[in-house]
Structure 1
Amino acid sequence: MELDLVDTDARLRHLAQVIGSSTAPPVRYEAYPIRNPEDPKQGFLILAVPRSPHGPHAVTTPPVKASEKALRYPRRTGSRTDWLTETDVATAYHRRFTEAADRRQRLVDVEREALAGLPPSNMPKLVVTMTPEVPGDMPINRESYERHRRDIPQGFLFERVRIGSRRLIATSDERTMNYQHCELHRDGSGAWINGIPAQTAMFEGTESHYADVNVVVDELQNMLKLLAAHARDRAGVSGTMLVKAAVCAAPHWHPHGPPRPNLNPVLPFRIDQTDQYGTRHPLLSTQSCAYADAEAAAFVDDLTDGSPAGASDRPHR
Protein backbone atom coordinates (compact mmCIF):
# COMPACT_ATOMS: atom_id res chain seq x y z
CA MET A 1 0.00 0.00 0.00
CA GLU A 2 1.32 3.44 -0.96
CA LEU A 3 1.04 6.14 1.66
CA ASP A 4 2.45 9.24 3.25
CA LEU A 5 5.09 8.17 5.81
CA VAL A 6 5.34 11.48 7.66
CA ASP A 7 3.88 10.01 10.88
CA THR A 8 4.54 6.29 10.50
CA ASP A 9 3.98 5.38 14.16
CA ALA A 10 0.52 6.97 14.22
CA ARG A 11 -0.44 5.19 11.00
CA LEU A 12 0.77 1.86 12.36
CA ARG A 13 -1.24 2.34 15.56
CA HIS A 14 -4.34 3.15 13.53
CA LEU A 15 -3.77 0.13 11.30
CA ALA A 16 -3.39 -2.16 14.34
CA GLN A 17 -6.61 -0.78 15.82
CA VAL A 18 -8.56 -1.31 12.58
CA ILE A 19 -7.28 -4.85 12.03
CA GLY A 20 -7.78 -5.79 15.68
CA SER A 21 -11.38 -4.54 15.74
CA SER A 22 -12.45 -5.88 12.34
CA THR A 23 -11.00 -9.43 12.38
CA ALA A 24 -11.76 -12.31 14.74
CA PRO A 25 -9.53 -13.79 15.95
CA PRO A 26 -7.23 -10.83 15.17
CA VAL A 27 -4.91 -11.49 12.25
CA ARG A 28 -1.20 -11.38 13.10
CA TYR A 29 1.01 -9.46 10.69
CA GLU A 30 4.36 -7.67 10.40
CA ALA A 31 4.51 -4.13 8.97
CA TYR A 32 7.56 -2.98 6.97
CA PRO A 33 7.66 0.72 5.97
CA ILE A 34 9.72 1.16 2.76
CA ARG A 35 10.67 4.79 2.20
CA ASN A 36 11.28 6.36 -1.17
CA PRO A 37 15.02 7.28 -1.22
CA GLU A 38 14.21 10.36 -3.31
CA ASP A 39 11.42 11.48 -0.96
CA PRO A 40 11.67 9.95 2.57
CA LYS A 41 8.19 11.31 3.38
CA GLN A 42 6.65 8.97 0.82
CA GLY A 43 6.84 5.24 0.35
CA PHE A 44 5.10 1.91 0.74
CA LEU A 45 3.91 -0.07 3.73
CA ILE A 46 4.28 -3.81 3.23
CA LEU A 47 2.14 -6.10 5.41
CA ALA A 48 3.50 -9.64 5.74
CA VAL A 49 0.84 -12.08 6.98
CA PRO A 50 2.14 -15.54 7.95
CA ARG A 51 0.05 -18.67 7.67
CA SER A 52 -2.19 -18.79 10.71
CA PRO A 53 -2.97 -21.80 12.91
CA HIS A 54 -6.05 -19.98 14.23
CA GLY A 55 -8.21 -19.94 11.10
CA PRO A 56 -10.83 -19.35 10.02
CA HIS A 57 -10.54 -15.60 10.54
CA ALA A 58 -13.75 -13.58 10.25
CA VAL A 59 -14.10 -9.98 9.12
CA THR A 60 -16.82 -7.56 10.16
CA THR A 61 -19.33 -6.42 7.55
CA PRO A 62 -21.54 -3.33 7.62
CA PRO A 63 -24.40 -4.02 10.09
CA VAL A 64 -27.93 -4.40 8.84
CA LYS A 65 -29.13 -2.68 12.00
CA ALA A 66 -27.30 -0.22 14.19
CA SER A 67 -27.25 -2.73 17.07
CA GLU A 68 -25.86 -5.62 14.99
CA LYS A 69 -22.31 -6.56 14.07
CA ALA A 70 -22.08 -9.36 11.51
CA LEU A 71 -19.08 -11.59 10.90
CA ARG A 72 -18.25 -13.17 7.56
CA TYR A 73 -15.45 -15.56 6.67
CA PRO A 74 -13.50 -14.76 3.48
CA ARG A 75 -11.33 -17.18 1.53
CA ARG A 76 -9.01 -16.03 -1.19
CA THR A 77 -9.15 -18.08 -4.41
CA GLY A 78 -6.71 -16.72 -6.94
CA SER A 79 -7.76 -13.11 -7.57
CA ARG A 80 -11.29 -13.72 -6.24
CA THR A 81 -12.63 -13.61 -2.68
CA ASP A 82 -15.15 -16.31 -1.78
CA TRP A 83 -17.20 -16.42 1.41
CA LEU A 84 -17.36 -19.57 3.52
CA THR A 85 -20.69 -21.27 4.03
CA GLU A 86 -21.86 -22.44 7.45
CA THR A 87 -20.60 -25.93 6.61
CA ASP A 88 -17.22 -24.54 5.53
CA VAL A 89 -16.91 -22.61 8.81
CA ALA A 90 -17.80 -25.66 10.91
CA THR A 91 -15.25 -27.75 9.03
CA ALA A 92 -12.55 -25.11 9.48
CA TYR A 93 -13.16 -24.89 13.23
CA HIS A 94 -13.01 -28.67 13.53
CA ARG A 95 -9.71 -28.64 11.65
CA ARG A 96 -8.32 -25.96 13.98
CA PHE A 97 -8.97 -28.03 17.10
CA THR A 98 -7.80 -31.35 15.63
CA GLU A 99 -4.60 -29.77 14.34
CA ALA A 100 -3.92 -28.31 17.80
CA ALA A 101 -4.17 -31.83 19.26
CA ASP A 102 -1.98 -33.15 16.44
CA ARG A 103 0.70 -30.54 17.19
CA ARG A 104 0.84 -31.53 20.86
CA GLN A 105 1.16 -35.17 19.88
CA ARG A 106 3.85 -34.17 17.39
CA LEU A 107 5.80 -32.57 20.24
CA VAL A 108 5.60 -35.81 22.23
CA ASP A 109 6.64 -37.92 19.22
CA VAL A 110 9.68 -35.75 18.45
CA GLU A 111 10.80 -35.89 22.10
CA ARG A 112 10.30 -39.66 22.31
CA GLU A 113 12.25 -40.34 19.09
CA ALA A 114 15.22 -38.27 20.29
CA LEU A 115 15.31 -40.03 23.67
CA ALA A 116 15.28 -43.41 21.91
CA GLY A 117 18.52 -42.47 20.12
CA LEU A 118 20.54 -41.85 23.31
CA PRO A 119 23.38 -44.15 24.34
CA PRO A 120 23.06 -45.68 27.87
CA SER A 121 23.62 -43.03 30.54
CA ASN A 122 23.05 -42.33 34.23
CA MET A 123 23.94 -38.64 33.99
CA PRO A 124 21.49 -35.68 34.26
CA LYS A 125 20.02 -34.36 31.02
CA LEU A 126 18.35 -31.18 29.80
CA VAL A 127 15.81 -31.96 27.05
CA VAL A 128 14.35 -29.19 24.86
CA THR A 129 11.76 -29.96 22.19
CA MET A 130 9.98 -27.66 19.73
CA THR A 131 7.35 -28.05 17.04
CA PRO A 132 5.78 -25.31 14.88
CA GLU A 133 2.08 -24.58 14.96
CA VAL A 134 2.21 -24.31 11.15
CA PRO A 135 4.71 -26.87 9.73
CA GLY A 136 7.54 -25.77 7.46
CA ASP A 137 9.47 -27.78 4.89
CA MET A 138 13.25 -28.24 4.83
CA PRO A 139 14.55 -29.86 1.63
CA ILE A 140 17.00 -32.67 2.28
CA ASN A 141 19.29 -33.45 -0.63
CA ARG A 142 23.02 -33.81 -1.17
CA GLU A 143 23.62 -30.08 -1.52
CA SER A 144 21.59 -29.09 1.55
CA TYR A 145 23.05 -31.93 3.61
CA GLU A 146 26.62 -30.82 2.88
CA ARG A 147 25.72 -27.24 3.78
CA HIS A 148 24.06 -28.25 7.05
CA ARG A 149 26.92 -30.63 7.90
CA ARG A 150 29.34 -27.71 7.75
CA ASP A 151 27.04 -25.20 9.44
CA ILE A 152 25.49 -27.02 12.41
CA PRO A 153 28.65 -27.77 14.48
CA GLN A 154 29.85 -24.16 14.42
CA GLY A 155 29.85 -22.76 17.95
CA PHE A 156 28.41 -25.92 19.51
CA LEU A 157 29.66 -29.29 20.72
CA PHE A 158 28.49 -31.43 17.80
CA GLU A 159 31.07 -33.51 15.98
CA ARG A 160 28.96 -35.51 13.55
CA VAL A 161 25.92 -34.75 11.39
CA ARG A 162 24.05 -37.54 9.61
CA ILE A 163 20.73 -38.06 7.86
CA GLY A 164 17.82 -39.81 9.57
CA SER A 165 14.21 -40.32 8.54
CA ARG A 166 13.07 -36.85 7.39
CA ARG A 167 15.57 -35.25 9.74
CA LEU A 168 19.19 -34.33 10.40
CA ILE A 169 20.86 -35.85 13.47
CA ALA A 170 23.80 -34.08 15.13
CA THR A 171 25.76 -35.73 17.93
CA SER A 172 28.93 -35.31 19.95
CA ASP A 173 31.42 -37.96 21.07
CA GLU A 174 29.49 -40.60 23.04
CA ARG A 175 32.43 -40.99 25.43
CA THR A 176 32.07 -37.42 26.77
CA MET A 177 30.19 -36.81 30.02
CA ASN A 178 28.16 -33.94 28.53
CA TYR A 179 26.95 -35.88 25.49
CA GLN A 180 24.90 -33.87 22.96
CA HIS A 181 22.15 -35.34 20.78
CA CYS A 182 20.11 -33.11 18.45
CA GLU A 183 17.47 -34.06 15.87
CA LEU A 184 16.31 -31.41 13.37
CA HIS A 185 13.17 -32.43 11.47
CA ARG A 186 12.07 -31.46 8.01
CA ASP A 187 8.87 -29.77 9.23
CA GLY A 188 10.83 -27.44 11.55
CA SER A 189 10.42 -29.54 14.68
CA GLY A 190 13.50 -30.34 16.71
CA ALA A 191 14.80 -31.89 19.91
CA TRP A 192 18.12 -31.33 21.67
CA ILE A 193 19.24 -33.49 24.59
CA ASN A 194 22.12 -31.89 26.46
CA GLY A 195 24.25 -33.56 29.08
CA ILE A 196 24.19 -31.06 31.95
CA PRO A 197 27.69 -30.13 33.17
CA ALA A 198 27.39 -31.59 36.68
CA GLN A 199 29.79 -31.87 39.59
CA THR A 200 29.75 -34.19 42.58
CA ALA A 201 29.42 -33.11 46.21
CA MET A 202 28.11 -34.34 49.56
CA PHE A 203 24.71 -33.01 50.66
CA GLU A 204 23.60 -33.99 54.16
CA GLY A 205 25.77 -37.08 54.03
CA THR A 206 24.59 -38.17 50.56
CA GLU A 207 26.74 -37.97 47.43
CA SER A 208 24.89 -36.04 44.72
CA HIS A 209 25.33 -34.44 41.33
CA TYR A 210 24.76 -30.71 41.20
CA ALA A 211 24.84 -27.96 38.56
CA ASP A 212 24.81 -24.20 38.93
CA VAL A 213 21.48 -22.65 37.96
CA ASN A 214 23.18 -20.07 35.72
CA VAL A 215 24.94 -22.82 33.77
CA VAL A 216 21.62 -24.59 33.16
CA VAL A 217 19.97 -21.33 32.03
CA ASP A 218 22.82 -20.57 29.61
CA GLU A 219 22.57 -24.06 28.14
CA LEU A 220 18.79 -23.68 27.78
CA GLN A 221 19.13 -20.36 25.94
CA ASN A 222 21.62 -21.83 23.46
CA MET A 223 19.33 -24.78 22.81
CA LEU A 224 16.30 -22.55 22.22
CA LYS A 225 18.23 -20.41 19.75
CA LEU A 226 19.56 -23.31 17.68
CA LEU A 227 16.25 -25.15 17.47
CA ALA A 228 14.30 -22.00 16.60
CA ALA A 229 16.91 -20.94 14.02
CA HIS A 230 16.56 -24.35 12.38
CA ALA A 231 12.76 -23.95 12.21
CA ARG A 232 12.88 -20.43 10.80
CA ASP A 233 15.97 -20.46 8.57
CA ARG A 234 15.99 -24.04 7.26
CA ALA A 235 12.32 -25.04 7.31
CA GLY A 236 10.83 -21.59 6.63
CA VAL A 237 8.60 -21.59 9.73
CA SER A 238 6.85 -18.41 10.81
CA GLY A 239 4.48 -17.73 13.68
CA THR A 240 4.55 -19.64 16.95
CA MET A 241 6.33 -22.69 18.27
CA LEU A 242 5.25 -25.10 20.97
CA VAL A 243 8.20 -25.54 23.33
CA LYS A 244 8.89 -28.05 26.08
CA ALA A 245 11.92 -28.09 28.39
CA ALA A 246 12.60 -30.94 30.82
CA VAL A 247 15.31 -31.75 33.36
CA CYS A 248 15.86 -35.33 34.49
CA ALA A 249 18.40 -36.92 36.82
CA ALA A 250 19.01 -39.58 34.14
CA PRO A 251 17.28 -40.40 30.82
CA HIS A 252 15.32 -43.33 32.23
CA TRP A 253 13.56 -40.99 34.69
CA HIS A 254 11.93 -39.21 31.74
CA PRO A 255 8.34 -40.46 31.10
CA HIS A 256 9.31 -41.23 27.49
CA GLY A 257 12.89 -42.21 28.24
CA PRO A 258 14.74 -45.47 27.56
CA PRO A 259 14.86 -48.38 30.03
CA ARG A 260 17.16 -48.06 33.02
CA PRO A 261 20.67 -49.03 31.90
CA ASN A 262 22.86 -51.58 33.62
CA LEU A 263 25.31 -48.94 34.90
CA ASN A 264 26.45 -47.60 38.23
CA PRO A 265 23.55 -46.36 40.38
CA VAL A 266 22.30 -42.90 39.47
CA LEU A 267 23.10 -40.14 41.97
CA PRO A 268 20.52 -37.60 43.19
CA PHE A 269 20.67 -34.42 41.11
CA ARG A 270 20.32 -30.83 42.32
CA ILE A 271 20.30 -27.42 40.66
CA ASP A 272 21.83 -24.91 43.08
CA GLN A 273 23.56 -21.56 43.23
CA THR A 274 27.30 -21.28 43.77
CA ASP A 275 29.57 -18.39 44.58
CA GLN A 276 32.30 -17.16 42.24
CA TYR A 277 34.64 -19.90 43.50
CA GLY A 278 32.01 -22.62 43.05
CA THR A 279 32.23 -23.61 46.73
CA ARG A 280 28.91 -22.49 48.25
CA HIS A 281 25.75 -24.39 47.36
CA PRO A 282 22.66 -22.64 48.76
CA LEU A 283 19.61 -24.85 48.36
CA LEU A 284 17.01 -23.51 45.94
CA SER A 285 14.35 -25.90 47.21
CA THR A 286 13.63 -28.04 50.24
CA GLN A 287 12.52 -30.89 47.98
CA SER A 288 14.05 -32.68 45.04
CA CYS A 289 12.63 -34.76 42.19
CA ALA A 290 14.10 -36.87 39.42
CA TYR A 291 12.09 -35.18 36.65
CA ALA A 292 10.56 -31.74 36.01
CA ASP A 293 9.27 -30.03 32.88
CA ALA A 294 7.55 -26.91 31.56
CA GLU A 295 5.77 -26.00 28.33
CA ALA A 296 5.18 -22.69 26.54
CA ALA A 297 4.27 -21.16 23.19
CA ALA A 298 6.49 -18.43 21.74
CA PHE A 299 7.14 -16.66 18.44
CA VAL A 300 9.90 -18.30 16.44
CA ASP A 301 11.58 -14.92 15.80
CA ASP A 302 11.71 -14.16 19.54
CA LEU A 303 13.28 -17.55 20.25
CA THR A 304 15.85 -17.16 17.48
CA ASP A 305 16.79 -13.67 18.66
CA GLY A 306 17.26 -14.93 22.20
CA SER A 307 14.33 -13.15 23.85
CA PRO A 308 11.54 -15.73 24.06
CA ALA A 309 8.18 -14.29 25.02
CA GLY A 310 5.81 -17.04 26.00
CA ALA A 311 2.26 -16.65 24.72
CA SER A 312 1.05 -19.27 27.18
CA ASP A 313 2.85 -21.27 29.80
CA ARG A 314 2.40 -24.40 31.85
CA PRO A 315 4.33 -24.28 35.15
CA HIS A 316 7.04 -26.70 36.24
CA ARG A 317 6.09 -29.90 37.95
Structure 2
Amino acid sequence: MRINQETFAQHEPALRGAQPLLGQDDRPFKAVSVQSGGLMLHHPRVRSRSDLAYLYTDGSGIWAQPLPTEFDKDIEPDERLRVLQADVLVHRLLSALAFLATHARDRCGATGTVSIEVDLVDRMYSHPYAPPEPYPRPGQPRPGHVYPLVLQQTSPFPPSEFLCRSAQGEATAVLDDLTDAGTGLVQAGSLLADQLFHAFGIAEAAPLTNQGEIRLPAWRQNVQPGITTWADHQGVPLTDH
Protein backbone atom coordinates (compact mmCIF):
# COMPACT_ATOMS: atom_id res chain seq x y z
CA MET A 1 0.00 0.00 0.00
CA ARG A 2 1.52 3.28 -1.08
CA ILE A 3 0.98 6.15 1.37
CA ASN A 4 0.82 9.64 -0.05
CA GLN A 5 -1.58 12.56 0.27
CA GLU A 6 -4.03 11.05 -2.20
CA THR A 7 -4.17 7.57 -0.68
CA PHE A 8 -4.30 8.92 2.88
CA ALA A 9 -7.26 11.12 1.96
CA GLN A 10 -8.89 8.01 0.48
CA HIS A 11 -8.34 5.68 3.44
CA GLU A 12 -8.62 8.03 6.43
CA PRO A 13 -12.41 8.66 6.44
CA ALA A 14 -13.24 4.97 6.02
CA LEU A 15 -10.87 3.85 8.79
CA ARG A 16 -11.96 6.60 11.19
CA GLY A 17 -15.60 5.65 10.68
CA ALA A 18 -15.01 1.89 10.70
CA GLN A 19 -17.24 -0.37 12.79
CA PRO A 20 -14.98 -3.41 13.02
CA LEU A 21 -16.65 -5.10 16.01
CA LEU A 22 -18.79 -7.82 14.43
CA GLY A 23 -22.50 -7.30 15.01
CA GLN A 24 -21.97 -4.01 16.88
CA ASP A 25 -22.15 -0.35 15.90
CA ASP A 26 -19.21 0.77 18.08
CA ARG A 27 -16.41 2.82 16.53
CA PRO A 28 -13.27 2.20 18.60
CA PHE A 29 -11.02 4.43 16.48
CA LYS A 30 -11.46 8.21 16.43
CA ALA A 31 -8.30 9.23 14.57
CA VAL A 32 -5.98 7.94 11.85
CA SER A 33 -2.35 9.09 11.68
CA VAL A 34 0.56 8.37 9.38
CA GLN A 35 3.36 6.48 11.11
CA SER A 36 6.62 4.99 9.92
CA GLY A 37 5.69 1.95 7.86
CA GLY A 38 1.95 2.47 7.80
CA LEU A 39 -1.08 3.95 9.52
CA MET A 40 -1.98 4.19 13.21
CA LEU A 41 -5.59 4.06 14.40
CA HIS A 42 -6.24 5.40 17.87
CA HIS A 43 -8.37 7.54 20.18
CA PRO A 44 -6.40 10.71 21.00
CA ARG A 45 -8.29 11.67 24.16
CA VAL A 46 -8.11 8.30 25.92
CA ARG A 47 -5.14 6.81 24.13
CA SER A 48 -3.66 5.15 27.22
CA ARG A 49 -6.77 2.99 27.70
CA SER A 50 -8.26 2.70 24.21
CA ASP A 51 -7.94 0.43 21.20
CA LEU A 52 -4.79 0.94 19.17
CA ALA A 53 -4.10 -0.50 15.72
CA TYR A 54 -1.20 -0.36 13.28
CA LEU A 55 -1.86 -1.15 9.62
CA TYR A 56 1.42 -1.58 7.77
CA THR A 57 2.07 -0.98 4.09
CA ASP A 58 3.04 -4.64 3.49
CA GLY A 59 -0.38 -5.85 4.66
CA SER A 60 0.60 -6.91 8.16
CA GLY A 61 -1.15 -5.39 11.15
CA ILE A 62 -1.74 -5.44 14.88
CA TRP A 63 -4.72 -4.48 17.00
CA ALA A 64 -4.24 -4.00 20.75
CA GLN A 65 -7.56 -4.15 22.59
CA PRO A 66 -8.33 -3.34 26.25
CA LEU A 67 -10.85 -6.04 27.20
CA PRO A 68 -13.52 -5.23 29.81
CA THR A 69 -13.21 -7.24 33.02
CA GLU A 70 -15.02 -7.31 36.33
CA PHE A 71 -14.11 -8.11 39.92
CA ASP A 72 -16.02 -8.36 43.20
CA LYS A 73 -15.25 -5.30 45.31
CA ASP A 74 -16.63 -7.03 48.42
CA ILE A 75 -13.77 -9.54 48.43
CA GLU A 76 -10.57 -8.71 50.27
CA PRO A 77 -8.17 -6.87 47.93
CA ASP A 78 -5.51 -9.56 48.14
CA GLU A 79 -8.01 -12.20 46.99
CA ARG A 80 -9.69 -10.36 44.15
CA LEU A 81 -9.76 -11.82 40.66
CA ARG A 82 -10.42 -10.13 37.34
CA VAL A 83 -13.16 -11.97 35.49
CA LEU A 84 -13.01 -11.97 31.69
CA GLN A 85 -16.14 -13.21 29.96
CA ALA A 86 -15.40 -15.89 27.37
CA ASP A 87 -17.73 -14.45 24.74
CA VAL A 88 -16.03 -11.05 25.02
CA LEU A 89 -12.64 -12.58 24.30
CA VAL A 90 -13.94 -14.65 21.38
CA HIS A 91 -15.91 -11.79 19.86
CA ARG A 92 -12.93 -9.43 19.98
CA LEU A 93 -10.69 -12.11 18.49
CA LEU A 94 -13.01 -12.71 15.52
CA SER A 95 -13.38 -8.97 14.96
CA ALA A 96 -9.61 -8.45 14.91
CA LEU A 97 -9.04 -11.30 12.46
CA ALA A 98 -11.61 -9.97 10.00
CA PHE A 99 -10.49 -6.35 10.30
CA LEU A 100 -6.76 -7.00 9.86
CA ALA A 101 -7.38 -9.46 7.03
CA THR A 102 -9.47 -6.89 5.17
CA HIS A 103 -6.59 -4.44 5.35
CA ALA A 104 -4.14 -7.02 4.03
CA ARG A 105 -6.27 -8.07 1.06
CA ASP A 106 -8.29 -5.03 0.09
CA ARG A 107 -5.77 -2.24 0.72
CA CYS A 108 -2.47 -4.01 0.15
CA GLY A 109 -3.43 -6.68 -2.38
CA ALA A 110 -2.08 -9.57 -0.30
CA THR A 111 -3.15 -13.11 -1.18
CA GLY A 112 -2.60 -16.66 0.01
CA THR A 113 -1.89 -17.88 3.51
CA VAL A 114 -1.29 -15.63 6.51
CA SER A 115 0.38 -16.16 9.87
CA ILE A 116 -1.52 -15.12 12.99
CA GLU A 117 -0.40 -14.60 16.56
CA VAL A 118 -2.66 -13.59 19.43
CA ASP A 119 -1.49 -12.64 22.91
CA LEU A 120 -3.64 -12.18 26.00
CA VAL A 121 -1.97 -10.42 28.93
CA ASP A 122 -3.19 -9.09 32.27
CA ARG A 123 -1.46 -5.74 31.62
CA MET A 124 0.71 -4.15 28.96
CA TYR A 125 4.05 -4.91 30.59
CA SER A 126 3.23 -8.61 30.81
CA HIS A 127 3.43 -8.87 27.02
CA PRO A 128 6.57 -10.71 25.90
CA TYR A 129 7.50 -7.88 23.48
CA ALA A 130 6.71 -5.01 25.85
CA PRO A 131 9.47 -2.71 27.08
CA PRO A 132 10.57 -2.95 30.71
CA GLU A 133 8.09 -1.42 33.11
CA PRO A 134 9.33 2.05 34.08
CA TYR A 135 9.88 2.98 37.70
CA PRO A 136 7.73 5.89 38.87
CA ARG A 137 9.52 9.16 39.41
CA PRO A 138 9.69 10.64 42.92
CA GLY A 139 6.30 11.98 43.86
CA GLN A 140 4.44 9.97 41.22
CA PRO A 141 1.93 7.32 42.35
CA ARG A 142 3.02 3.72 42.00
CA PRO A 143 1.06 1.55 39.55
CA GLY A 144 -2.06 -0.02 41.00
CA HIS A 145 -2.26 -3.67 41.90
CA VAL A 146 -2.87 -6.01 38.96
CA TYR A 147 -5.30 -8.83 39.70
CA PRO A 148 -4.93 -12.23 38.01
CA LEU A 149 -7.33 -13.20 35.23
CA VAL A 150 -9.95 -15.92 35.26
CA LEU A 151 -12.06 -16.84 32.24
CA GLN A 152 -15.79 -17.19 32.81
CA GLN A 153 -17.97 -19.23 30.46
CA THR A 154 -21.75 -19.36 30.67
CA SER A 155 -23.28 -22.33 32.48
CA PRO A 156 -23.08 -25.30 31.92
CA PHE A 157 -19.74 -24.80 30.16
CA PRO A 158 -16.73 -25.22 32.45
CA PRO A 159 -15.06 -22.17 34.04
CA SER A 160 -11.36 -21.55 34.57
CA GLU A 161 -9.38 -24.06 36.57
CA PHE A 162 -6.29 -21.84 36.71
CA LEU A 163 -5.46 -18.18 37.11
CA CYS A 164 -3.55 -16.66 34.22
CA ARG A 165 -1.23 -13.74 33.55
CA SER A 166 -0.69 -14.39 29.85
CA ALA A 167 -1.70 -16.75 27.06
CA GLN A 168 -0.70 -17.11 23.43
CA GLY A 169 -2.05 -18.72 20.29
CA GLU A 170 -0.64 -19.16 16.79
CA ALA A 171 -2.19 -20.34 13.54
CA THR A 172 -2.14 -20.00 9.78
CA ALA A 173 -5.21 -19.35 7.67
CA VAL A 174 -6.27 -18.55 4.13
CA LEU A 175 -6.58 -14.78 3.84
CA ASP A 176 -9.80 -14.88 1.84
CA ASP A 177 -11.45 -17.02 4.56
CA LEU A 178 -10.74 -14.35 7.16
CA THR A 179 -11.74 -11.42 4.96
CA ASP A 180 -14.99 -13.03 3.81
CA ALA A 181 -15.92 -13.41 7.51
CA GLY A 182 -17.81 -16.69 7.18
CA THR A 183 -17.27 -20.19 8.50
CA GLY A 184 -13.56 -20.01 7.64
CA LEU A 185 -13.15 -17.05 9.99
CA VAL A 186 -14.95 -18.91 12.78
CA GLN A 187 -12.79 -22.00 12.25
CA ALA A 188 -9.60 -19.95 12.52
CA GLY A 189 -10.98 -18.15 15.55
CA SER A 190 -11.86 -21.47 17.17
CA LEU A 191 -8.32 -22.77 16.75
CA LEU A 192 -6.78 -19.64 18.26
CA ALA A 193 -9.35 -19.32 21.05
CA ASP A 194 -8.81 -22.92 22.11
CA GLN A 195 -5.12 -22.19 22.61
CA LEU A 196 -5.91 -19.19 24.81
CA PHE A 197 -8.48 -21.14 26.81
CA HIS A 198 -5.98 -23.93 27.45
CA ALA A 199 -3.94 -21.53 29.59
CA PHE A 200 -6.94 -21.36 31.93
CA GLY A 201 -7.36 -25.15 32.06
CA ILE A 202 -10.35 -25.15 29.67
CA ALA A 203 -10.21 -27.74 26.89
CA GLU A 204 -12.35 -25.89 24.32
CA ALA A 205 -13.62 -22.38 23.69
CA ALA A 206 -17.35 -23.00 23.98
CA PRO A 207 -18.61 -20.00 21.93
CA LEU A 208 -17.22 -21.51 18.69
CA THR A 209 -16.91 -24.96 17.13
CA ASN A 210 -14.06 -26.23 14.98
CA GLN A 211 -16.62 -26.82 12.19
CA GLY A 212 -17.09 -23.04 11.94
CA GLU A 213 -20.34 -22.72 13.91
CA ILE A 214 -21.47 -20.25 16.57
CA ARG A 215 -22.48 -22.19 19.69
CA LEU A 216 -25.24 -19.83 20.80
CA PRO A 217 -25.81 -21.06 24.42
CA ALA A 218 -22.18 -20.16 25.20
CA TRP A 219 -22.94 -16.47 24.55
CA ARG A 220 -24.64 -14.37 27.21
CA GLN A 221 -28.22 -13.36 26.48
CA ASN A 222 -27.43 -9.67 26.15
CA VAL A 223 -24.95 -10.32 23.32
CA GLN A 224 -26.81 -13.12 21.54
CA PRO A 225 -28.91 -10.82 19.31
CA GLY A 226 -25.88 -9.05 17.86
CA ILE A 227 -23.86 -12.18 17.14
CA THR A 228 -26.95 -13.94 15.76
CA THR A 229 -27.67 -11.09 13.35
CA TRP A 230 -24.05 -11.10 12.18
CA ALA A 231 -24.00 -14.89 11.75
CA ASP A 232 -27.24 -14.87 9.75
CA HIS A 233 -25.92 -12.11 7.49
CA GLN A 234 -22.63 -13.93 6.85
CA GLY A 235 -24.14 -17.39 6.47
CA VAL A 236 -22.42 -18.73 9.58
CA PRO A 237 -24.39 -21.63 11.06
CA LEU A 238 -25.68 -21.54 14.62
CA THR A 239 -25.81 -24.56 16.90
CA ASP A 240 -27.32 -25.29 20.31
CA HIS A 241 -24.88 -28.14 21.04
Residue 145 of structure 1 corresponds to 8
Note the aligned Cα RMSD (angstroms). Answer: 2.6
State the one-letter code of the partner of 1:190. G
TM-score, length-scaled by structure 2: 0.65
Residue 132 of structure 2 corresponds to 259
Q: Which structure features the higher share of strand residues?
A: 1
Task: Tell me if structure 2 keeps the 8 A contact 1:207–1:267.
Answer: yes
Distance in 2, matches of 1:283 and 1:201, equals 20
Q: Which moved more, 1:224-233 or 1:297-306?
A: 297-306
Distance 1:229 1:203, change over 3 A: farther
Is 1:228 paired with 2:91?
A: no
State the one-letter code of the partner of 1:260. E
Residue 121 of structure 2 corresponds to 248
Distance in 1, matches of 2:86 and 2:74, equals 17
Shift of 1:258: 2.8
Shift of 1:273: 2.3
Residue 199 of structure 1 corresponds to 70
Residue 162 of structure 1 corresponds to 33
Residue 24 of structure 2 corresponds to none
Residue 160 of structure 2 corresponds to 285
Residue 51 of structure 2 corresponds to 180
Number of residue pairs matched?
173
Task: Tell me if structure 1 keeps the 8 A contact 2:150–2:162.
Answer: no
Distance in 2, matches of 1:203 and 1:189, equals 44
Distance 1:272 1:176, change over 3 A: farther
Asked which structure has the greater CA Rg, the reply is 1
Distance 1:148 1:299, change over 3 A: same
Secondary structure at the residue paired with 1:148?
Answer: helix
Structure 2 gap segments, 5+ residues each:
20-26, 135-141, 200-241
Runs of 4+ in 1 over 6 A off after TM superposition: none
- The correspondence for 2:172, drawn from 270, 288, 297, is 297
Q: Quick one: percent identity of the two aligned structures?
A: 29
Q: Which moved more, 1:157-166 or 1:177-186?
A: 177-186
Q: Which structure features the higher share of helix residues?
A: 2
Structure 1 gap segments, 5+ residues each:
1-137, 276-280
TM-score, length-scaled by structure 1: 0.50
State the one-letter code of the partner of 2:127. H
